[in-house]
Amino acid sequence: MKRLLPTLRADNAPEGLISVLNTLQIAAKEISFRLHQGALAGVLGSTLDENIQGETQKKLDVVANQLLKTLLLESPRVHAIASEEEDSIVLSPNSGEYLVAFDPLDGSSNIDINGTVGTIFSILPKPETPSNDESMFLQKGRHQVAAGYVLYGPSTMLVMTTGNGVRTYTLDQTVGEFLLTKDTAAIPADTQEFAINMSNQRHWSNAVREYVEHLLLGEEGPRQKNFNMRWNAAMVSDVHRLVTRGGLFTYPWDARNPEKPFKLRLMYEAAPMAMIVEQAGGAASNGYMPILDIEPEHIHQRVAVIMGSANEVQKCVEYHEKHG
């Protein structure tokens, strides 16, 4: 089986980008080991601290963030990093050509129940005249040169793109290497599966309420087909299902907190996942425009997310257009 680095070189990826991706996969292996040790490694449970998002940090959130931060800042190819767990960007002592944004452990509420979690990353080019503040990172998702996620499940999988399709690698524990296990991901245009947190239904917009109501009506409703619902409470695993067999994942606007009407972060979650989904033939929208065309306003910006099978995403967008 092919290893990660040779496949990147076969795609003619720049050596600097290969170096950054190599650093990320080294960190992923260490995070995977600690996760699979579970209680034996003393990484379960919460800390007494909150991150910049106002969320109580899990112990492994802190461990994963520090591992990625340390290794990336040591890389000569990295200029700065931005993490969901950090208040602001962190400049590297090196003046590399890339910026890396990441969610060190998506779905961390699943850690203590031995559920699936993951790491999401986005790699951007450093501007020609870097400002050395967060404005460097405020680039549309279309500018990403690579994006990916690591899924820590029964097996540890790396799913990534450098703009030439989506490949899947599986960590072979016997040799300690990510090996290519799927050369091309293709999301079917149509689906009968969707993923949404139904407990928030009463807070949704009229557009999303009507869309989901019509899905639930099945064959007897206006959609004239039955749908199944799946929800793993971790974006990384719900999106992995899309990449594997299609479907629709959405985390829409809701009315509970006017100051935080959206859940998912644009730079750490929505944009990198949108790049992967589009590269696999799917679509990704906030209900009104493609996620990759959104101009970020700040590094911790949150957005509505609809992504997956292209025809189903378009159908959901039509409900948003109908309601305005």
Q: What's the pLDDT score for residue 46?
A: 56
Confidence at residue 34, expressed as pLDDT on a 0 to 100 scale: 87
318 assigned to a ligand binding site: no
Residue 293 annotated as part of some ligand binding site: no
The SS3 of residue 239 is helix
Number of H helices, E strands in the chain: 7, 17
pLDDT of residue 44: 55
CA distance 134 to 295: 14
- Does 106 carry a binding-site annotation? yes
135 is in an annotated binding site: no
Give the pLDDT of residue 324.
Answer: 80
Q: How many CA atoms lie within 13 A of 320 on its CB side?
A: 18
Task: Give 212's contacts (C-beta < 8 A, 6+ positions apart).
Answer: 194, 196, 198, 201, 204
226 in a known ligand binding site: no
Task: Indicate the SS3 state at residue 240.
Answer: helix
Q: Is the CB of residue 83 less than 8 Å from the CB of residue 62? A: no
Give residue 48's pLDDT: 47
In this predicted structure, what is the pLDDT of residue 53? 59
Measured CA to CA, the distance from residue 20 to residue 247 in angstroms comes to 31
Domain locations along the chain: 4-182, 193-323
Q: Pick 193-323's CATH classification: 3.40.190.10, 3.40.190.80, 3.90.1150.10, 3.30.200.20.
A: 3.40.190.80
Is 71 marked as a binding-site residue?
no
Residue 122 annotated as binding site: no
Cα(126)–Cα(210) distance, integer angstroms: 43
75 appears as a binding residue in the annotation: no
19 marked ligand binding residue: no
Ligand-binding annotation for 83, yes or no, is: no
Per-residue pLDDT of the chain (324 residues; tens, 9 = 90+): 899 999 999 889 999 999 999 999 999 999 999 888 765 555 555 554 555 555 556 678 888 999 999 999 999 999 999 999 999 999 999 889 999 999 999 987 777 778 889 999 999 999 998 899 999 999 999 999 999 999 999 999 999 999 999 999 999 999 999 999 999 999 999 999 999 999 999 999 999 999 999 999 999 999 999 999 999 989 999 999 999 999 999 999 999 888 889 999 999 999 999 999 999 999 999 999 999 999 999 999 999 999 999 999 999 999 999 998
Q: Which fold has domain 4-182?
A: Fructose-1,6-Bisphosphatase; Chain A, domain 1 (3.30.540)
